[in-house]
Amino acid sequence: MVHVTRIVIIGGGPGGYEAALVAAQLGAEVTVVDRDGLGGAAVLTDCVPSKTLIATAEVMTGFDASYQELGIRLACDRPEGEGGERAISVDLGKVNRRVKRLAIAQSHDITQSVTRAGVTVLRGKGRLGSGGQAADGSREVLVEAVGGSTQSLRADAVLVASGVHPREAPDARPDGERILNWKQVYDLEELPRELIVVGSGVTGAEFAGAYQALGSKVTLVSSRDRVLPGEDPDAAEVLEEVFRRRGMNVMSRLRAESAKRVGDRVEVTLSDGRVITGTHCLIAIGAIPNTAGMGLEEAGVKLNDWGQIVVDRVSRTSAPGVYAAGDCTGVFMLASVAAMQGRIAMYHALGDAVQPLNLKTIASNIFTDPEIATVGYTAADVSCGKMDAVEIKLPLRGNPRAKMQGIRDGFVKLFCRPGTGIVVGGVVVAPRASELIHSISLAVDNNLTVEQVAGAFTVYPSLSGSTAEAARQLHIRKRAESES
Ligand SMILES: Cc1cc2nc3c(=O)[nH]c(=O)nc-3n(C[C@H](O)[C@H](O)[C@H](O)COP(=O)(O)OP(=O)(O)OC[C@H]3O[C@@H](n4cnc5c(N)ncnc54)[C@H](O)[C@@H]3O)c2cc1C
Residue 163 exposed, middle or buried by CB count within 10 Å (0-12, 13-18, 19+) = buried
Is 115 contained in some domain?
Answer: yes
Question: What is the average pLDDT score of the chain?
Answer: 94
In the prediction, which pLDDT does 64 show?
A: 80
Cis omega before residue 170 (within 30°)? no
Q: What is the pLDDT of residues 419-430, one digit of tens each?
A: 999 999 999 999
The span from the CA of 321 to the CA of 131, in Å, is: 14
Q: With a cut of 80, say whether residue 326 has pLDDT above it.
A: yes
The span from the CA of 367 to the CA of 153, in Å, is: 40
Cis omega before residue 461 (within 30°)? yes
Would you tell me how many other CB atoms lie within 10 Å of the CB of residue 148? 7
User: What is the 106 CA–ligand 1 centroid distance (Å)?
Assistant: 14
Q: With a cut of 60, say whether residue 398 has pLDDT above it.
A: yes
User: What is the 481 CA–ligand 1 centroid distance (Å)?
Assistant: 47
- Same domain, yes or no: 33 and 128: yes
User: What is the 327 CA–ligand 1 centroid distance (Å)?
Assistant: 7
pLDDT band of 299, cuts 50, 70, 90: very high
Show which of 328, 359, 390 is a domain's final residue.
359
346 CB near ligand 1 (under 6 Å): no
> Which of 99, 110, 162, 181 for mutating ligand 1's site (highest number of atoms within 8 Å of CB)?
162
- Same domain, yes or no: 268 and 296: no
Mean pLDDT calculated for residue range 363-386: 96
Q: With a cut of 60, say whether residue 78 has pLDDT above it.
A: no
Is 94 contained in some domain?
Answer: no
Q: How many domains does the chain have?
A: 3
40 CB near ligand 1 (under 6 Å): yes
290 CB near ligand 1 (under 6 Å): yes
| Contact partners, residue 198, CB within 8 Å, separation at least 6 | 172, 204, 221, 256, 259, 268, 281, 282, 283, 284, 285
Q: What is the pLDDT of residues 23-49, one digit of tens each?
A: 999 999 999 999 999 999 999 999 999
Mean pLDDT calculated for residue range 220-228: 95
> Which of 21, 47, 184, 340 for mutating ligand 1's site (highest number of atoms within 8 Å of CB)?
47
34 CB near ligand 1 (under 6 Å): yes
372: closest CA among 201, 251, 197, 199? 201
336 CB near ligand 1 (under 6 Å): yes
Is 397 contained in some domain?
Answer: yes
- Same domain, yes or no: 266 and 387: no
User: What is the 78 CA–ligand 1 centroid distance (Å)?
Assistant: 44
Show which of 359, 393, 413 is a domain's final residue.
359
For the entire predicted model, the pTM comes to 0.95
- Same domain, yes or no: 113 and 134: yes
Q: With a cut of 70, say whether residue 83 has pLDDT above it.
A: no
Is 239 contained in some domain?
Answer: yes
| Contact partners, residue 367, CB within 8 Å, separation at least 6 | 50, 51, 54, 206, 434
Show which of 252, 269, 285 is a domain's final residue.
285
- Same domain, yes or no: 24 and 122: yes
User: Are the C-beta atoms of residues 309 and 291 closer than 8 Å to each other?
Assistant: yes
- Same domain, yes or no: 277 and 297: no
Is 364 contained in some domain?
Answer: no
In the prediction, which pLDDT does 76 show?
A: 65
- Same domain, yes or no: 377 and 454: yes
CATH code of residue 475: 3.30.390.30
CATH code of residue 149: 3.50.50.60
Q: With a cut of 90, say whether residue 479 has pLDDT above it.
A: no
51 CB near ligand 1 (under 6 Å): yes
pLDDT band of 243, cuts 50, 70, 90: very high
Atom of ligand 1 nearest to the CA of 328: 26
Which domain does 434 fall in, by range?
Answer: 370-483
- Same domain, yes or no: 258 and 179: yes
User: What is the 396 CA–ligand 1 centroid distance (Å)?
Assistant: 34
255 CB near ligand 1 (under 6 Å): no
Higher pLDDT, 77 or 451: 451
- Same domain, yes or no: 133 and 12: yes
Is 365 contained in some domain?
Answer: no
One DSSP character per residue, 76-124 reads S-PPBTTTBPPS----HHHHHHHHHHHHHHHHHHHHHHHHHTT-EEEES
Q: What is the pLDDT of residues 349-368, one digit of tens each?
A: 999 999 999 999 999 999 99
In the prediction, which pLDDT does 368 show?
A: 98
- Same domain, yes or no: 160 and 295: yes
- Same domain, yes or no: 115 and 29: yes
123 CB near ligand 1 (under 6 Å): no
> Which of 107, 184, 290, 323 for mutating ligand 1's site (highest number of atoms within 8 Å of CB)?
290
In the prediction, which pLDDT does 1 show?
A: 60
In the prediction, which pLDDT does 461 show?
A: 97
Is 50 contained in some domain?
Answer: no
Is 354 contained in some domain?
Answer: yes
User: What is the 290 CA–ligand 1 centroid distance (Å)?
Assistant: 10
Q: With a cut of 90, say whether residue 151 has pLDDT above it.
A: yes
The span from the CA of 459 to the CA of 471, in Å, is: 16
pLDDT band of 3, cuts 50, 70, 90: confident
Q: With a cut of 90, say whether residue 200 has pLDDT above it.
A: yes
Q: With a cut of 80, say whether residue 481 has pLDDT above it.
A: no
Q: With a cut of 70, say whether residue 385 has pLDDT above it.
A: yes
User: What is the 352 CA–ligand 1 centroid distance (Å)?
Assistant: 26
- Same domain, yes or no: 426 and 479: yes
